[in-house]
């Protein structure tokens, strides 16, 4: 009768057990990889950088971006790094720094980021670069564009209807992508009041506070009594300056009626929460398109805020009627 040998049997059992464990782990890994490929990125593992040209406290374009991304971070659980007050010459180096540190998504909050991102994107294909109002030639780039002409049209009608002097002003940043809204504004003014004069003042960039305030004073001296201001960092100062002269303004990006409740007629807001919500959802699901993506009134990204109490009910109804027409 053969003698029982426990150790070889135990060893064989251990080997078989280890093989089963390794096989199981391998199958789990394959399943995980398949799920990642199907679902996209895992939000709680994402590393996201938000790059801002101006300060985070401007009560407009930059602060709205930070608030939107902070809210989404709490909901989705990704890590978020913020770099603000970036000068143009700093952008390319900053974007490259985040890409080298394996950030999955770098968001440049403005058109100024598109060209530097293009310089960096080709060298870092595993990082997605998203900017606004620029070009996006590489597969790992997306640029968000706003269809601002209808928004300008609507605001132009409001400005013309609320003007008593027949002179309205538009403070625009002297950038090519800003002029579609100016054209829409002129059209809206003409439709509401063909005899109303439109005076356009050009600021050098979105942070040109001194220039924008000077333009405001010049417009007021010329008899303008409604000013639409579409800056990022200078809207607060423009609205405050106009309030001192008892001149109406129309805000931009955020609902800015709180700055001067008796003098801000309304604001053409950009729902950055909705914009960034769409970006983050599509990115985590591998559905974020490359190239140019356009949003506007129809997509709910551009919205006219509630109007102030100084706007008569008849004008409110006329503006809402025009909005419904533009949405058709």
Residue 91's φ and ψ, nearest 5 degrees, are: -65, -50
Which of 196, 65, 46, 61 lies closest to 126 in space, CA to CA?
46
| Separation of alpha carbons 127 and 129, rounded Å | 6
Q: How far is CA 183 from the centre of its chain?
A: 22
Task: Look at phi and psi of residue 149 and say left if phi exceeds 0, alpha if psi is from -120 to 50, else beta.
Answer: alpha
For 295, the 3-state DSSP assignment is: strand
By CB atoms closer than 10 A (0-12, 13-18, 19+), residue 16 is: exposed
- Could you report how far apart the first and last alpha carbons of the chain are, in Å? 94
Q: What is the mean pLDDT of each run of 10 residues along the chain (328 residues)?
A: 46 46 36 36 78 80 88 94 94 98 96 95 97 94 93 98 98 92 98 98 93 98 97 91 98 93 95 89 94 88 95 98 92
| Separation of alpha carbons 323 and 142, rounded Å | 29
Which of 201, 281, 293 lies closest to 249 in space, CA to CA?
201
Contact 81, 106 (CB under 8 A): no
Q: How far is CA 144 from the centre of its chain?
A: 8
Q: What is the pLDDT of residue 328?
A: 82
DSSP state of 113: G
DSSP codes, 233-246: SSHHHHHHHHHHTT
For 204, the 3-state DSSP assignment is: coil
| Separation of alpha carbons 105 and 281, rounded Å | 12
For 264, the 3-state DSSP assignment is: strand
DSSP state of 260: S
| Separation of alpha carbons 320 and 52, rounded Å | 34
For 65, other C-beta atoms within 10 Å of its C-beta total 28
Contact 83, 51 (CB under 8 A): yes
Contact 212, 237 (CB under 8 A): yes
Which of 176, 171, 148, 147 lies closest to 159 in space, CA to CA?
171
Kind plus residue range of the DSSP H or E element containing 324: helix 313-327
Contact 58, 259 (CB under 8 A): no
Output Rg (C-alpha) for the chain, integer angstroms: 27
Kind plus residue range of the DSSP H or E element containing 212: helix 209-221
| Separation of alpha carbons 39 and 51, rounded Å | 26
């Amino acid at each position: 009768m053969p003698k029982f040998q426990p150790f070889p049997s135990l060893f064989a059992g251990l080997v078989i057990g280890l093989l089963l464990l390794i096989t199981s782990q391998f199958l789990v890994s394959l399943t995980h990889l398949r799920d990642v490929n199907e679902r996209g990125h895992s939000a709680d593992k994402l590393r996201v950088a938000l790059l801002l040209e101006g300060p985070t406290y401007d009560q407009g374009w930059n602060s709205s971006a930070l608030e939107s991304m902070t809210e989404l971070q709490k909901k989705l659980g990704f890590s978020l790094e913020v770099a603000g007050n970036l000068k143009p010459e700093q952008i390319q180096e900053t974007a490259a720094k985040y890409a080298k540190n394996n950030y999955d998504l770098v968001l440049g909050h403005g058109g100024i980021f598109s060209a530097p991102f293009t310089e960096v994107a080709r060298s870092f294909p595993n990082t997605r670069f998203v900017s606004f109002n620029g070009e996006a030639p590489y597969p790992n780039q997306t640029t968000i564009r706003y269809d601002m002409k209808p928004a300008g049209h609507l605001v132009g009608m409001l400005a013309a209807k609320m003007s008593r002097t027949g002179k309205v002003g538009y403070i625009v940043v002297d950038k090519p992508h800003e002029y579609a809204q100016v054209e829409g504004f002129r059209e809206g003014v003409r439709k509401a009041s063909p005899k109303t004069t439109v005076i356009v003042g050009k600021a050098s960039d979105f942070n040109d506070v001194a220039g924008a305030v000077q333009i405001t004073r010049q417009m007021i001296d010329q008899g303008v009594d409604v000013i639409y201001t579409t800056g990022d960092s200078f809207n607060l100062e423009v609205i405050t300056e106009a309030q001192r002269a008892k001149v109406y303004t129309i805000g931009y990006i955020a609902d800015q009626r709180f700055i001067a409740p008796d003098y801000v007629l309304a604001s053409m807001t950009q729902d950055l929460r909705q914009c960034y919500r769409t970006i983050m959802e599509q990115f985590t699901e591998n559905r974020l398109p490359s190239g140019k993506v356009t949003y506007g009134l129809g997509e709910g990204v551009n919205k006219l805020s509630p109007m102030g109490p100084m706007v008569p009910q008849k004008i409110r109804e006329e503006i809402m009627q025009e909005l419904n027409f533009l949405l058709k």
